[in-house]
Structure 1
Amino acid sequence: MSDESPDVQRELESMRSSIDNIDAALVHLLAERFKCTQRVGRLKAEHDLPPADPARESRQIDKLRSLAADADLDPAFAEKFLNFIISEVIRHHEAIRER
């Protein structure tokens, strides 16, 4: 049995609107992050530095896991998300290096 009253629909639409706004903000934040990492990739390529920095990546993962826990977000999810971003950044750095 579902409750499809106008009040429920308005509340659902309001929550979805908030989610849509957050998604848009996330996309813009990721775009800014990748602009920064592209600059890092060019600097690394110019100075023949490796595309990956495992020690920094490990520190970032630890920091993000802690932030996630403080924010009541699953730290394992946060780690998976950051690992995905890191793998994309490394791929971009390798591509910059090959140019």
Structure 2
Amino acid sequence: MAKKSLIQREHKRKKLEEKYRLIRQSLKKKSKDSSLSQKQKIEIQRKLQSLPRNSAPIRLHRRCLFTGRPRAHYRDFGLSGHILREMVHACLLPGATKSSW
């Protein structure tokens, strides 16, 4: 189980990312405009850099829904590897079977 403080930090990052998403997208769109001068592009880049670091979507981690574990995360199920295995053993995931050889 992940520490509660790390999970709360991740929630805070997610809220910040949602808050600044539109601003970040509009600034990135403006910076790709070829009709702008170099000075204008630099100014747009400064505005982008002035946004909080934790508002960048790259800083978000996917976490397991049950344990909060950030590693060994399966996107299809939203679970970490060992929880996925336990649920497949218990037949709680329809269509998933445990392979054995």
Name the TM-score, length of structure 2 as normaliser.
0.32
Q: Which has the greater radius of gyration?
A: 2
Hey, which of these two has a bigger chunk of helix by percent? 1
